[in-house]
Amino acid sequence: MAEALQNSLQGCLAEKVQGFETIPLPGAGENETAYFHHASRSLIIGDALINLSPDPLMLLPAKYCTNPDLLKNSLKRLLELPTQRIFFAHGAPILQDGVGRLKTVIP
């Protein structure tokens, strides 16, 4: 029952964010999802990745993850996208070579 409800809610969310591909990121916080806009090659990330100066781009610290190993695996999907720009919940955006920057932190 809970899984059916979750799938239904995710379907509603996808319909409301037209033009964006939803990418679930299990292992981060509960219901963490990234959004990719193909036309602008822009990725929007919640908490799964952090880009706070002076530290380099990094994964969400393990103590905040529901499953750090699962998060590392789910982030690999992002490497398949032609990402130019990345926008974060925490930190400055990356405006060029987004996929190159992702490759520096996603194992």
The pLDDT, as a whole number, for residue 93 is 96
pTM assigned to the model: 0.81
> Which helix (H) or strand (E) segment is 12 a member of?
helix 2-16
Among residues 63, 84, 75, which one has the least CA distance to residue 23?
75
Span 13-60, pLDDT tens digits: 545 568 899 999 999 999 999 999 999 999 999 999 999 988 889 999
Q: Which two tokens stand for residue 62?
A: 């393990």
Residues 34, 46, 32: CA angle, nearest 5 degrees: 65
Average per-residue pLDDT in the chain?
88
Domains of the chain (ranges, CATH numbers): 19-103 (3.60.15.10)
DSSP labels, 73-100: HHHGGGGGS---EEEESSBPPB-S-HHH
User: What confidence category does residue 1 fall into, taking pLDDT thresholds of 50, 70 and 90?
Assistant: very low
